[in-house]
Structure 1
Amino acid sequence: MKRRSRAPQAMSDDEHRRLPKYSIGVVSQLVGIPPQTLRRYEEAGLLDPARQDGKNRLYSDENLAVLQEIADLADQGINAVGIRHILQMRRQVISLEQEVKEVRTLLMHVQHTEYIVESSDEKKER
């Protein structure tokens, strides 16, 4: 039986950013951090790379960005516990900013709807 070929679906930028694709050796060279340090960051809960067959770590572009942030904070003398708290706070800020954006969009929609209703009521009164 012949298989139907499916057209590959395009990945969103977010999906592409989260796609695990770099081995620990490649990441070590890209970021300039020894593999053992990368393993310690994972043990400390600062990073959670994907696992290939439960063994080999695979890092995404998103992981690389977090690693760069971790390295910058470590260079400033911040320990692993402090880095974890900073990363958590930054994620929370991003989440709250997204919530604010959604609420503002909803508010604008409600205000627009109210304007339309008021305009319609004024026309009926005439």
Structure 2
Amino acid sequence: MELSETTPLFVISVAAELAQMHPQTLRQYDRLGLVCPTRTEGKSRRYTMRDVARLREIARLSQEGVSLEGIRRVLELVNENSELNQRVRDLERELADQIMSQPGKRVFAAGDQGVIRLNPGQRPERSGSIVLWRRK
């Protein structure tokens, strides 16, 4: 078995000690959906290192005066942000792979008419005009 930060290892008493909380607090956070530990066949909770880190973040936010509903929303937004960042990385990787598999098919140039697409081997027309950009 390979261990990672998502491996459910800790029973509630150990997770509570690592997070410096009371086990009853962890049960309440589970009921509220702030932390969702995995369950064994016997229905006992098993916490991961990621869960413990999340519990510590909950404690920090709580000490700063954020309500439990506020904490839930903050954690929801953090998760959404992480998922979107991962999606952007995946799309960037996919785009880079696509561009690398079709070398020379995409050439662009900037001119007085803006950015234009050129065919491979085509050169942009030279223009003697000067474009002046002013802030509004």
Structure-1-length-normalised TM-score: 0.75
For residues 62-81 of structure 1, the aligned pairs below 5 Å read 62-81=50-69
The CA distance in 2 between the partners of 1:55 and 1:99, in whole Å, is 34
Counterpart for residue 5 of structure 1: none
Counterpart for residue 43 of structure 2: 55
Q: Which has the higher contact order (CA 8 A, sep 6+)?
A: 1
8 Å CA contact 2:8, 2:47 repeated in 1: yes
Structure 2 residue 88 is matched with structure 1 residue 88: no
Identity of aligned residues (%): 31
CA distances 1:39-76 after superposition (whole Å, capped 9, x unpaired):
11111110111222333211111111111111111111
Counterpart for residue 99 of structure 1: 87
**Secondary structure of 1:65 counterpart:** helix
CA RMSD in angstroms, aligned pairs only: 2.0
Q: Going by fraction, where is helix more abundant, 1 or 2?
A: 1
Q: Please tell me the residue identity of whatever aligns with 1:84.
A: R
Runs (4+) of structure 1 moved beyond 3 Å?
Answer: none
The CA distance in 2 between the partners of 1:59 and 1:102, in whole Å, is 29
Give the number of aligned pairs. 108
Q: Please tell me the residue identity of whatever aligns with 1:57.
A: R
Q: Structure 2: 5+ residue runs without aligned partners?
A: 107-119, 122-136
Structure-2-length-normalised TM-score: 0.70
Counterpart for residue 19 of structure 2: 31
Q: Structure 1: 5+ residue runs without aligned partners?
A: 1-9
The CA distance in 1 between the partners of 2:21 and 2:64, in whole Å, is 15
Counterpart for residue 3 of structure 1: none
